[in-house]
Structure 1
Amino acid sequence: MVNELNFDSIRPYNDDEIHEVFERLVNEVNFLGLINFLYPNFSTKDFLNKLLSIQSIKEFQTEVIYPYVKEVLRTTTKGITHSGFENLDPKGHYLFISNHRDIVLDSAILNILMVENGFNTTEIAIGDNLLIYPWITDLVKLNKSFIVQRNLPVRQMMESTKRLSSYIRQTLTERNQSIWIAQREGRSKDGDDRTQVSLLKMLNMSGNGSFSNNFEEINIVPLSISYEYDPCDYLKAHEFLMKRDNPDFKKTQDDDLKHMGAGLRGRKGRVHFGFGSPIKKELSELEALAKNDQLQALAELIDNQIHSNYKFYPGNFIADDLFTNHQRHINKYTDEDKSTFLAYLDEHLSRIDGDKDFLFNTLLEMYANPVKNFYTCEDK
């Protein structure tokens, strides 16, 4: 097992490190600007005094992160629902592998639900591409995030991948600490949620047993995240348009910040988190397969649970009917539902310039793909 000291470059902060971090943050102009934005009803002085009085990561999450996320959810959603907690044990550890819609809120809402249902908060995997400034790195590591390093030279990437795999396994099995990680690098822009085999390959690297033992040890639970409205949908559609017109197009750091802001501030409608069942007994059935086939079969097991636990709203069914030019789901929504959804799409399309037909169809596909995947899963 890799010694914990080797994890210093990626792990979250410990309780005994937080005051040094707070001292850095209170002297960071951009952080102070963020505080004014996030907590407009607090005087900055009062907030900083409160921050400096905090003694633990748990207290930081409870006193700073939790109330802010709750306020975001109160003002930008029509409520959060969940299913599947009966499959989980508050004393256990789980690797939640989920589809990924929102950069900030997917894991933030998960931790709210964990606390409110008697569980400890999870550690959060976050790509280093989002750590645009040092103070952002400080902030996320205070919130139990660990770093997934990307875009390294080949040799360094192999070392980084081994370190990450060992960190995840040790965190789960030795510290009994649950983890959230997205099923793929980055968000699914088109709503077609698929687990990357490379993620599972990384997780398996640190195991010392058989395929089934390695994955049983880390206790994978698929998690399906459903937003009635994705506040970043128009930004994702615009990205598809930019890539269509320029295959070399890449998002900038400013684009990532724009997505974070839109995700926090934009309306989301209803939100549902569907927890699947731990994948354990099925693993032994995969032992007879070739190694690469084992990983692909496991990816499909995860995807099947994510697809089947997805919560649909009228917009999903409307989008599927319009995108495929049929009326298969017409009994699942009203004329008023259709008018509301189309008005929502028109409002978001008005925010971006370009090929409106392409953008409209891209938005439809984004909301329709989860429906397609659900029925494909049902047919298996």
Structure 2
Amino acid sequence: MEYMEFDEIRPYHDEELPQIFEELIADQAFQAVATTVMPGVPFEMIAQKMRACKSKLDFQKTFCYGLLWKIAKDASNGLTLDHTALKDKQAAYTYISNHRDIILDSGFLSILLVDQGMDTVEIAIGDNLLVYPWIKKLVRVNKSFIVQRGLPMRQMLESSARMSRYMHYTIKEKKQSIWIAQREGRAKDSNDLTQDSILKMLAMGGEGEIIDRLMEMNIAPLAISYEYDPCDFLKAWEFQLKRDIPDYKKSTTDDLKSMQIGLFGFKGHVHFQTGACINDALQQMDRSLSKPELFSHISAVIDQRIHANYRIYPNNYAAYDLLEGNDTFSRHYTTEDKQHFLAYLEQQLARIEIPNKDLTFLREKMLQMYANPLKNYLAATNA
């Protein structure tokens, strides 16, 4: 029996779905979005299909699977997953990945897993993104559990501990894989580093010492490599606003715009590569280390496995050379690749609408976004 304490944050149970479907079907904002996403399909038909879904997986296969593959087809040059580093396909893993897109990181992972005969993942999602009641319901139908943010310190600790217990319960009892980003929010400069706080949260639940608790989670580092980041210009834009306006804060409208551009903007090739589960490294770790040392060692293991599994594209090499002002990696791209990338940069920079637009600064920020994965890859593989 699942514990009541998780009711506020967990995905819905399958037997709760009929009631939730009726609430969504009656919600006019949801109706408007559903008919926009599925143009030409009468809403009655969407409602009928929803009512026919008996489980969350049914719902995902009926709606999300097709929509996500359509996005992949329209907005990318292909979507691939190499899962060979994880030998046991039946085990439940905690995929900890770098974070490129608010919705697609976990969405693409799930459809790729389905195509390899595996189950979809439960998704950790911040409540700051759940700006309307229908969104909160929809994500919980779609196997998401809620990460509560912006609480006062004491409540924050209680909330983190509860989420940790929930995640341990999900891996151990439900035998259900989970996806969580390695940090809160996306790395704006693509310098992907695991926040120790994520590991501290994971170590709150479970039994035994910190290492035992983390081993219970079967942590599998996952590298996500987008050839192009559709939000790159928005991130550069934000860098300049933060530089020029000391207390600049993004609005909800900015977040929604970013979600929309991330979903439908062009991504080039997108590759998912799992690293080996970190239990081998945890087993050999010195248990006498202080907590801060232990967490930073474990973060470093995850980072190394994510960085070493990036797929590096010609534009990453070109960006590195453009930033350094040399041609160290020119064997990895053609003149045409470089011209294409430069034209792409100019096109994205032109989309930034800022008074006092600092093109030199913005261009450098965008080059860093594409060069950093390569820098980290070289360091992780000692290349």
Residue 207 of structure 2: aligned partner: 208
1:368 aligns with 2:367: no
> What does the per-residue CA deviation read over 1:50-86, in whole Å, with 9 as the maximum and x for residues that have no partner?
1122221111001011011011101111111222335
2 CA distance for matches of 1:88 and 1:357? 47
The whole-number CA distance in structure 1 between the counterparts of 2:62 and 2:270 is 24
Amino acid at match of 2:78: G
Contact 1:122 1:177 survives alignment (8 Å): yes
Distance in 1 between the 2:201 and 2:17 partners? Answer: 30
Code of the residue aligned with 1:370 in structure 2: it is P
Q: Does 1:359 align with 2:359?
A: no
Find the residue that maps to 2:269 and give its secondary structure.
Answer: strand
Q: How far does residue 89 in structure 1 lie from its aligned partner after superposition?
A: 1.8
Could you tell me how far apart the structure 1 residues matched to 2:288 and 2:118 are? 36
2-structure distance, mates of 1:57, 1:41: 25
Aligned-partner SS, 1:87: coil
Moved more, 69-78 or 351-360: 351-360
SS for the counterpart of 1:339 is helix
Kept after mapping to 2: 8 A contact 1:223/1:276: yes
Cα separation, 2, equivalents of 1:332 and 1:247? 40
Q: Which moved more, 1:84-93 or 1:346-355?
A: 84-93
Deviation at 1:303, TM superposition (A): 0.2
Deviations 1:90-132 (A, max 9, x none): 2101000000000110000000111111111110000000000
> Structure 2: any 5+ residue segments left out of the alignment?
none
Deviation at 1:216, TM superposition (A): 1.2
2:65/2:111 contact within 8 Å kept: yes
1:167-203 CA distance string (max 9 Å, x none): 0111101111100000000111100000000110111
1:153 and 1:206 map into 2 onto residues whose CA distance is 21
Residue pairs, 1:88-103, within 5 angstroms: 88-103=87-102
- The farther-off stretch of 217-226 and 369-378 is 369-378
* TM-score (normalizing by structure 2): 0.96
Q: Give the gaps of 5 or more residues in structure 1.
A: none
Contact 1:84–1:277 (8 Å) recurs in 2:
no
**Does residue 292 of structure 2 align to residue 289 of structure 1?**
no
Whether contact under 8 Å (2:320, 2:370) holds in the other structure is yes
Residues 1:165 and 1:282: Cα distance change in structure 2 (over 3 Å): same
* Residue of structure 2 in register with 1:72 after alignment: 71
Once the two structures are superposed, what CA deviation does each residue of 1:127-156 show, in whole Å capped at 9, x if it has no partner?
A: 000000010001100000000001101111
**Cα distance in 2, alignment partners of residues 78 and 378 from structure 1:** 27
Q: How does 1:147-186 map to 2 (within 5 A)?
A: 147-186=146-185
Q: Work out whether residues 80 and 112 of structure 2, in 8 Å CA contact, stay in contact via their aligned partners in 1.
A: no
SS at match of 2:81: strand
* Partner secondary structure for residue 125 of structure 1: strand
**Residue matched to 2:263:** 264
Tell me, yes or no, if the aligned pair for 1:219 and 1:278 is still in contact at 8 Å.
yes
1:284 CA displacement = 2.6
The letter for the 2-side match of 1:311 is R
Q: Do the aligned partners of 2:85 and 2:276 also contact (CA within 8 Å) in 1?
A: no
Question: What letter matches 2:273 in structure 1?
Answer: G
The equivalent residue for 2:332 is: 332
Q: 1-side partners of 2:113 and 2:41: how far apart?
A: 27
Contact 1:315–1:367 (8 Å) recurs in 2: yes
Work out the percentage of aligned pairs sharing the same amino acid. Answer: 47
Q: What secondary structure does 1:249 align onto?
A: coil
The answer to whether the 8 Å contact 1:90/1:119 transfers is yes
Aligned-residue CA RMSD in angstroms? Answer: 1.4
Q: Secondary structure at the match of 2:271?
A: strand
Match status 1:187 vs 2:186: yes
- Structure-1 residue corresponding to 2:347: 347
1:20 match: 19
Q: Deviations over 1:263-285 (max 9, x none)?
A: 11101100000100011121132
Contact 2:20/2:137 (8 A) holds in 1: yes
Deviation at 1:4, TM superposition (A): 1.4
Change (3 A) 1:331 1:350: same
Counterpart code for 2:223: S
**Could you tell me how far apart the structure 1 residues matched to 2:161 and 2:209 are?**
18
TM-score, normalized by length of structure 1?
0.97
Residue 299 of structure 1: aligned partner: 299
